[in-house]
A = this chain, B = another copy of it.
Amino acid sequence: MIEFRSNSEQDYQVDSERITTYLQEIKTDPMGGWFALPQVNRHDELQKIKSCSKEIQSTSKFLVCIGIGGSYLGHRALIEALHPDSRTKILYAGSSLSSRELINVLNVLGDADFSINIISKSGTTIEPAIAFRMLKEKLIQKYGDNYHKRIYATTDSKKGALYEEAVSCGYNRFIVPDNIGGRYSVLSSVGLLPLAVAGIEIDELLAGADLEFQQVIEQQNSPEKLPAAEYATFRHQLLEQNFDVEVLASFEPSLCYFAEWWKQLFGESEGKHRQGIFPAATTYTTDLHSLGQYLQEGRRNIFETILNFQISSLQERELRIPHLSSNLDGLQYLEGRTLDEINRVAMKATIQAHRDGGIPVDELIIPDFSTKSFGALVYFFELSCALSAKLSNINPFDQPGVEAYKKNMFRLLGKPGF
Contacts and interface: CB of A to CB of B under 8 A. Distances in A.
Contacts of A137: 322
A133 B329 CA distance: 9
Contacts of A99: 312, 315-316, 319, 338-340, 343
Contact of A267 (B182, B291, B406): B291
Given A98-B252, A264-B291, A346-B405, 13 more contacts: A95-B253, A98-B253, A98-B343, A130-B321, A244-B301, A263-B291, A264-B289, A268-B291, A268-B293, A271-B295, A289-B402, A294-B401, A297-B400
Contacts of A130: 321, 331, 334, 339, 342
Contacts of A334: 130, 413
B302 A278 contact: yes
Contacts of A356: 404
Contacts of A98: 251-254, 339, 343
Contacts of A73: 290
Contacts of A264: 289-291
Contact of A415 (B295, B333, B348): B333
Interface string A233-276: 00000000000110000011110000010011001101111111
A168 interface: yes
B408 A267 contact: no
Contact-residue size bin, chain A (C-beta under 8 Å from the other chain)? 35 or more
Nearest to A317: B99
A409 to B, nearest CB: 4
A31 to B, nearest CB: 15
A162 B358 CA distance: 35
A330 B285 contact: no
25 contacts: A68-B285, A83-B104, A96-B253, A97-B339, A99-B338, A103-B316, A124-B329, A133-B329, A133-B331, A161-B328, A245-B245, A264-B291, A271-B293, A271-B297, A272-B293, A276-B299, A279-B291, A293-B399, A293-B401, A296-B404, A334-B413, A346-B405, A348-B408, A353-B407, A353-B408
Interface in A318-376: 319, 321-322, 324, 326, 328-331, 333-334, 338-340, 342-343, 345-346, 348-350, 352-354, 356-358, 369
A263 B270 CA distance: 24
Interface of A: 68-70, 73, 83, 95-104, 123-124, 126-127, 129-130, 132-134, 137, 161-162, 164-165, 168, 182-183, 244-245, 251-254, 260, 263-264, 267-268, 270-276, 278-280, 283-286, 288-302, 312, 315-316, 319, 321-322, 324, 326, 328-331, 333-334, 338-340, 342-343, 345-346, 348-350, 352-354, 356-358, 369, 399-402, 404-409, 411-416
A345 B97 CA distance: 10
B330 A161 contact: yes
Contacts of A283: 96
Contact of A329 (B123, B328, B413): B123
A251 B252 CA distance: 27
A412 to B, nearest CB: 5
A346 to B, nearest CB: 5
A328 B274 contact: no
Contacts of A165: 326, 328-329
Contacts of A124: 329-330
- Considering the complex of A and B, which 5 residue pairs feature the smallest CB-CB distances, nearest first? A271-B294, A69-B289, A271-B298, A296-B401, A349-B408
A377 to B, nearest CB: 16
Given A133-B321, A268-B294, A168 B70 contact: no
